[in-house]
A and B are shown apart, each in its own frame.
Chain A
Amino acid sequence: MKISTKICTSKVFNFNSYYTSSHNKYKNFFFILLFLILLISVLFIFSLSWSSYDESKKFEKVKLVNIYNLPEVIIKSGTPTKPRNVHCTHWNCFNIYKCGHSAFDRISVYVYPLKKYVDEDGVPATELMSKEYYQLLEAVINSKYYTANPNKACILIPSIDTLNQGRLRSNLTSKALNSLPHWNGGENHLIFNLISGSSPDFAPVVELDIGNALLAGAGFDTYSFREGFDIPLPLYSPVAHLGKVDHIQRNRTWLITSSQININPHFLNELQKLSYQHRNQIQILDACAGIGNYTQRCDVSSESEHAYPQLLQESTFCMVFRGERMAQFALLEALAANCIPIFVIDGAVLPFKNVIDWKHSAIFVMEDYLGTVIDVVSTISSKRVRELQSSVKFIYDKYFSSIEKIVITSLDVVQDRIYPQWRKVYDQTNLVRREDNSNPLFFPITAPKSHGFTAVILTYDRIESLFTLIERLSKVPSLMKVLVVWNNQKKSPPPLSEFPAILKPIRLIRTKENKLSNRFLPFKEIETEAVLHIDDDIVMLTSDEVEFAYEVWREFPDRIVGFPSRMHKWDNITSTWKYESEWTNEISMVLTGAAFLHKYWSYLYTKGMPSNLKDWVDDHMNCEDIAMNFLVANATNKPPIKVTPRKKFKCPECINNEMLSADLGHMVERTQCINRFTKAFGRMPLKSVEFRADPVLFKDPFPEKLKRFNDIGSL
Chain B
Amino acid sequence: MKMQAKRRYLLVFTCCAFLAFWYFGGYRLQRVPELPSPKEILSEFVNLNTIQTGYLVGARERTHLPINNKIRCRMETCFDFTKCEKEFTVYVYPQEESRVPSPSYQKLLNVVMESRYYTTDPQKACLFILSTDTLDRDRLSNDYVRNMQTRLQRLPHWNNGLNHVIFNLYSGTWPNYTENDLDFDFGKAILAKASMSENHIRPGFDISIPLFHKTHSEKGGDPGSVLSNNFPLEKTYLLAFKGKRYVHGIGSDTRNSLYHLHNQKDMIMVTTCKHGKSWKEMKDDRCDEDNREYDKYDYETLLQNSTFCLVPRGRRLGSFRFLEALQAGCIPVLLSNSWALPFSEVIDWNKAVVWADERLLLQVPHVVRSLPASKILQLRQQTQVLWDRYFSSIEKIVCTTLEIIRERLPKQPVRDGLVWNNFPGALVTLSTFSDAKEDFPFHVEENANDGFTAVIYCQLGIPLTNVSPLYKLVNYVGRSKYLAKIVIVWSNEKKPPSRYRWPGLAPHVPLHIVQPGFSKEGTEQLKSSISQRFYPHPEINTTAVLSLDEDSVLTTDEVDFAFVVWKQFPERIVGYPARSHYWDDSKSTWGYTSKWTNDYSIVLTGAAFYHRYYNYLYTDWLSPLLHKTVEQSQNCEDILMNFLVSHVTRRPPIKVTQRKQYKEQPSAGSWSPWNDPDHFIQRQTCLNTFAAVFGYMPLIRSNLRLDPVLFKDPVSNRRKKYRRIELVGS
Contact = CB atoms under 8 A, between A and B. Distances in A.
B713 A646 contact: yes
B382 to A, nearest CB: 8
Interface string A105-135: 1000000000000000000000011111111
Interface residues of A, number: 162
Contact of A163 (B45, B48, B76): B45
A475 interface: no
B717 to A, nearest CB: 12
Contacts of A260: 53
Top 8 A-B pairs, shortest CB-CB distance:
A383-B436, A130-B45, A420-B355, A294-B48, A426-B348, A264-B55, A443-B381, A9-B25
Interface residues of B, number: 135
A425 B420 CA distance: 13
B705 A695 contact: yes
B39 A696 contact: no
A516 B722 CA distance: 38
Interface in B347-403: 348, 350-351, 354-357, 359-360, 363, 367, 370-371, 373-374, 377-378, 381-382, 384-385
Contacts of B360: 96, 100
Given A223-B72, A262-B54, A691-B707, A357 B416 contact: yes
Contacts of B20: 12, 37, 40-41, 44
A34 B714 contact: no
B702 A426 contact: no
Contacts of A539: none
A40 B20 CA distance: 7
Contacts of B21: 9, 12-13
Interface stretch (A143-151, A365-373, A488-496, A613-621): A365-373
Instruction: Indicate the member of B52, B561, B713 with the most A CB atoms within 10 Å.
Output: B52
Contacts of A420: 350, 354-356
Interface string A562-606: 000100000000000000000111110000000000111001000
Contacts of A264: 55, 61
A700 B44 contact: no
A263 interface: yes
A132 B45 contact: yes
A89 B416 CA distance: 28
A696 B598 contact: yes
Nearest to B223: A445
A446 B700 contact: yes
Interface string A90-111: 1100001100100001000000
Contact of B17 (A36, A130, A132): A36
A360 B418 contact: yes
B521 interface: no
A351 B53 CA distance: 19
A660 interface: no
B50 interface: yes
Contacts of A58: none
A164 to B, nearest CB: 5
B649 A357 contact: no
A715 interface: yes
Given A420-B355, A443-B423, A702 B596 contact: yes
B50 A292 contact: yes
A657 B349 CA distance: 53
Contacts of A89: 198-199, 338
Contact of A700 (B203, B356, B413, B596): B596
B46 interface: yes
B350 A425 contact: yes
B359 A451 contact: no
A426 to B, nearest CB: 4
Contact of A585 (B63, B705, B720): B720
Interface in A161-191: 161, 163-164, 166-167
Interface stretch (A72-80, A192-200, A505-513): A192-200
B437 interface: yes
Interface string B588-609: 0000000011111000000000
A323 interface: yes
Interface of B: 6-7, 9-10, 13-14, 16-18, 20-21, 23-25, 35, 38-39, 42-46, 48-58, 60-61, 63-64, 72, 74-76, 81, 198-199, 203-204, 226-232, 234, 337-338, 348, 350-351, 354-357, 359-360, 363, 367, 370-371, 373-374, 377-378, 381-382, 384-385, 410-411, 413-418, 421-423, 434-439, 443, 445, 561, 564-565, 568, 578, 596-600, 649-652, 655-656, 658, 660, 700, 702-715, 719-722, 729-730
B233 to A, nearest CB: 10
Instruction: Indicate the member of B10, B53, B565 with the most A CB atoms within 10 Å.
Output: B53
A12 B13 CA distance: 11
A639 interface: yes
A451 B7 CA distance: 89
A83 to B, nearest CB: 19
25 contacts: A26-B7, A40-B20, A130-B45, A134-B39, A239-B48, A322-B55, A347-B74, A359-B414, A360-B417, A369-B411, A420-B355, A430-B418, A437-B443, A441-B377, A442-B422, A443-B229, A529-B229, A555-B704, A584-B709, A585-B719, A599-B231, A646-B710, A691-B708, A694-B711, A695-B705
Contacts of B229: 441, 443, 445, 447, 529, 557, 598, 600
Contacts of B42: 67, 128-131, 134
Given A383-B434, A444-B649, A445-B228, 8 more contacts: A12-B17, A67-B42, A262-B53, A262-B54, A360-B418, A691-B561, A691-B565, A691-B656
A6 to B, nearest CB: 7
Instruction: Indicate the member of A239, A383, A445 with the most B CB atoms within 10 Å.
Output: A445
A631 B7 CA distance: 72
Contacts of B414: 359, 364
A443 B650 CA distance: 9
A316 interface: no
A440 interface: yes
A130 B704 contact: no
Given A134-B39, A426-B351, A441-B381, A692 B14 contact: no
Contacts of A227: 198-199, 203
Contact of A696 (B370, B561, B655, B722): B655
B353 to A, nearest CB: 9
A698 interface: yes
Contacts of A364: 414
A369 B76 CA distance: 10
Contact of A19 (B9, B14, B228): B14
A164 B46 contact: yes
B413 to A, nearest CB: 8
Given A44-B20, A445-B229, A551-B703, A696 B445 contact: no
A611 to B, nearest CB: 17
Interface stretch (A276-284, A299-307, A374-382): A374-382
A132 B47 CA distance: 12
A347 B707 contact: no
B381 A324 contact: no
B24 A5 contact: yes
Interface in A222-271: 222-223, 227-228, 236-239, 260-265, 267
Nearest to B414: A359
A694 B721 contact: no
A693 interface: yes
A138 to B, nearest CB: 8
Contacts of B410: 365-366, 369, 372, 376
A30 interface: yes
A35 to B, nearest CB: 11
A701 B730 contact: yes
Nearest to A9: B25
Given A37-B20, A697-B596, A383 B439 contact: yes
A412 interface: no
Contacts of B350: 420, 423-426
Interface string A435-467: 101001111111110010000000000000000
